[in-house]
Amino acid sequence: MTWIPTFRHFLTFLQIGFLFIIAVLTCNSFFAFLESSSAKDSPHPLVNESRCNAWEKNKQWKNLNFSTPRNTKLFMKLEDFFWKRYVSQLSLPFGLKGSEMFLLKVLAATASYEMPAHIENLKCKTCVVVGNSFAIKNSSLGSIINKHDVIIRINNGPIRGYEKDVGNKTTLRIFYPESTSTNPLLQNDVDTLMVLVPFKPPDLRWLKEILYDEKRVRRDFTHPPPLIWQVDSSKVRVLDPGFMYQTSKQMLRIKFPSKHHFRPSTGLLAVYVALNYCDVVHLAGFGYPPKQNHKQPVHYFETYTMQAMKRSPHDLGLEGQILKRLEKAGALMYLHPHL
């Protein structure tokens, strides 16, 4: 007798298939759960994913009153030149006008333009921007800082000898040529991405000369950048100058074209970048010495005081107010007490 499938058999097959799919999915998510809980040790009460909900995130960005969508693509890409002609009305640090050829050569040499996949693929990215302020001294925040998915450090802020307060992991090191040193590995991890913030055309020229081992041109810098720079070219990124432009426009409310000599500090720029890229933004090492305390150093690793900052091109008072407003709006959180 031959077996003739009926409609009822067909339904049973469907049911079995359905159950099988459910079982596979359940197993997968169970193993994914195991993996994620072993990859990341237990969440710290300050560094957890409770604020990571797409709706919340969107609402939060809207509440910041920025008239621009979130941009999670941080770095310049070679394709930007091939698929759309890169037109920029502004020159560095706000745009690329006049620096296109330097950048093109730099991007051809670095050949990687992304964040590492293990970070990019996270559903919820917890970030900490570690500033260089003296406020981080004796904070013992090192182990909390290390628990974040993305740890952003600024310029030459060291870690060796300061691990207890500042941690020892670095995902992104935001720098400009004068603020870096011959061997960045001394103060970073092997997989730290070195993110150039180009302030002026010579900054990109410097990077091009390093990557192609060309003769170094030493003029046009406030002080000489390193002539030798021991960094794997695949770990080099160039921050999209659009972030400097948007930080100035959206946060400092500078109107372009501007004769203003003020521009955002690298710290404020890093905060704006984190707000764009991350789901949770924490700050450590932000803040300047109180006015009445002339003797307190500005940085945790250097002794100079506010006296030396008098000619700074940053509006530090305004930046402080902006960070305070973002804190009140729930967009970011300080990991230590601050003014």
Ligand X SMILES: *[C@@H]1O[C@H](CO)[C@@H](O)[C@H](O)[C@H]1NC(C)=O
Q: Is-cis flag, bond preceding 93, omega within 30?
A: yes
> Is there binding between residue 64 and ligand X (CB under 6 A)?
yes
Site string for ligand X, 317-336 (x = CB under 6 A): --------x---x-------
Phi, psi at residue 43, to the nearest 5°? -65, 140
> Is there binding between residue 48 and ligand X (CB under 6 A)?
yes
Cβ–Cβ < 8 Å for 166, 141:
yes
Cα torsion at 113, 114, 116, 117 (round to 10°)?
-140
Q: Which helix (H) or strand (E) holds 132?
A: none
Stretch near ligand X under the rule CB under 6 A, chosen from 16-24, 58-66, 227-235, 287-295: 58-66
> Is there binding between residue 156 and ligand X (CB under 6 A)?
no
Return the number of the residue (204 or 332) whose C-beta is nearest ligand X.
332
- The tally of CA atoms less than 13 A away on the side-chain side of residue 53 is 5
Return the number of the residue (151 or 236) whose C-beta is nearest ligand X.
151
> Is there binding between residue 72 and ligand X (CB under 6 A)?
no
> Is there binding between residue 339 and ligand X (CB under 6 A)?
no
CB of 211 to ligand X, least distance (A): 25
Give the integer Cα–Cα distance in Å for 283 and 310: 24
Enter the tokens of residue 7: 């409609």
Total interface residues for ligand X by CB under 6 A: 15
Give the integer Cα–Cα distance in Å for 283 and 334: 5
Stretch near ligand X under the rule CB under 6 A, chosen from 60-68, 243-251, 286-294, 309-317: 60-68
> Is there binding between residue 140 and ligand X (CB under 6 A)?
no
Stretch near ligand X under the rule CB under 6 A, chosen from 57-65, 262-270, 302-310, 311-319: 57-65
SS3 279: coil
> Is there binding between residue 189 and ligand X (CB under 6 A)?
yes
What's the farthest any 2 CA atoms get from each other in the chain?
A: 100
Q: Which residues pair with 333 in a beta bridge?
A: 282
* Contact residue for ligand X among 168, 179, 258, 305 (CB under 6 A): 168
Q: Which residues pair with 127 in a beta bridge?
A: 150, 281
CB of 134 to ligand X, least distance (A): 7
Residues in contact with ligand X by CB under 6 A are: 43, 45, 48, 50-51, 63-65, 137-138, 168-169, 189, 325, 329
